[in-house]
Every structure is written in C-alpha cells, then in structure tokens.
Homo-oligomer: A and B are copies of this chain.
Amino acid sequence: MYKRWKAGLIRVVTLHDRLLAGMHGEIIMRKFPCLQVETKCIPDQYEGIYSQETKKIAIPKIIELAKSFQDIDVLIVSCADDPAVSELKEQLDIPIVGAGSSVAALASRYGKNAGVLGITDAAPPPYEQVFGENLINLGRPEGVNSTLDLMTDEGKEAVIRLAMKLKDKGADSIALACTGMSTIHAAELLSDKTGLPVIDPVTAEGLMAYYEYIKIL
C-alpha cells in the first residue's frame, strides 16, 4: 500500500544474541507492518540501565549510535526512562520516540491515576511528567532487581501481586515501566488478572513511531 518507513531502534543493553536483540523490533514489525525496524545495541553495557549512573553512562552511547543509522525515518529509544530522547530531539531532524513517554501518553487516556510498574523504585521521568502527583508508585516488585528476575516464576508472581496492589490503590491503568515487561508478556497477563488497561512499552513505542508515519499521510 504505502511505502514502508525505516525505523532505527536502540536497545540500551549490550546483547550479542541477534534474536534477543531483535525481539522489540520483531514485536513492532508484527503489529505495524509498514515499519521496517533496524536494531542496534549500545556497547559495553551488559546490564543495561538500572540506575542514574548507568543512565548517565548510556546517554552519549545512545546519541552516537543514533547518528550511525543510515536513512531512517524515525528513531526509537527502546527504554522506559527515555534516555537521550530530549538530547536527540535537539540534534536530529527526524521524529524521536521513547518508550517511557509513549507508555505515559497512552495511559493518560484511561484516567488521571496511573499505576507505574517497572523494576526500579523511582518512576521514570516521563511518567512523573504526565501524571504528576496522581501517579501511583509502590516501588518495584518484591525481589525483582533486573529484567532477568522477571523471567522466574517468583518474579512473575511478584509482578502480579504489585499490579493487584496498584489496582487496590485506585489505578485506572497500569503503565509498565520496563521493556523487559514486554518480553514476559506482562501486559496480557496483568490485564487478565486485574481487568485494567495495561500499557506495554514496546507496543507503545511502536504505536508512536507509526503515528509519526501516518500523521503526514
């Protein structure tokens, strides 16, 4: 139908397994067939971003990587923290999409109280920006310190328990705040368990990249 758009996608973790690295891109291309996604991982950061310090280290790497893509129409920074997104908006003249601001935007449609559910105690900045003091943040799931912990049965149970608590506190939606939640299909699982809309970060960033495409059609 229309010309496909080329999207560059940055993983903020070093992954040598191409299948694993390409997983976000695969989800996006399945849901948005007009986007052609090319993935690159930041170098030398095997544990990704999990603190202010690791975010600070990642930002110049993300900027350098962003500039290394050839002929892309849109750039996706596939991380709920939106690292380097504001810097890249200043420096590149293509649309820049961060996972965090995409999730927060989508969650806003379901009501003023969103529950944030990630793997850090602090909510990522875009969630704070959109929801302010109406954001419901109960910290990270018990025993979950990294995306690897999400893969275990104990990790998944802790995520479900936290989602139920966010619902009890009055959340209108659950805004997932780690792209690792996409890998474990948390949105589907938590939506079934809680009955609330649950926003998946990779779907959200894909939708916003698609928006940048169709808005000019």
Interface residues of A (CB under 8 A from B): 1, 30-33, 97, 101-102, 104-106, 108-109, 112, 129-130, 132, 187-188, 200, 203, 207-208, 210-211, 214-217
| Minimum CB–CB distance for A89 against chain B, Å | 9
Q: Which residues of B lie under 8 Å from residue A1 when comparing CB positions?
A: 33
Decide if A105 touches B101 in the complex (CB within 8 Å).
Answer: no
Q: Which residues of B lie under 8 Å from residue A215 when comparing CB positions?
A: 187, 200, 203
Q: How many copies does the complex hold?
A: 2
Decide if B31 touches A217 in the complex (CB within 8 Å).
Answer: yes
Rounded to whole angstroms, the CA-CA distance of A173 and B169 in the bound complex is 32
Nearest to A27 among chain B residues (CB) is: B217
Kindly list the 6 A-B residue pairs having the minimum CB-CB distance in the complex, ordered from nearest: A31-B214, A105-B109, A105-B108, A101-B109, A105-B105, A108-B130
Given contacts A1-B33, A33-B1, A130-B130, contact A109 B208 (CB under 8 A): yes
Q: Which residues of B lie under 8 Å from residue A187 when comparing CB positions?
A: 215
Rounded to whole angstroms, the CA-CA distance of A186 and B188 in the bound complex is 37
**Contact of A132 (CB < 8 Å), options: B31, B105, B132, B217:** B132
Q: Which residues of B lie under 8 Å from residue A109 when comparing CB positions?
A: 97, 101-102, 104-105, 208
**Contact of A32 (CB < 8 Å), options: B33, B97, B130, B214:** B214
Nearest to A89 among chain B residues (CB) is: B110
Rounded to whole angstroms, the CA-CA distance of A216 and B200 in the bound complex is 11
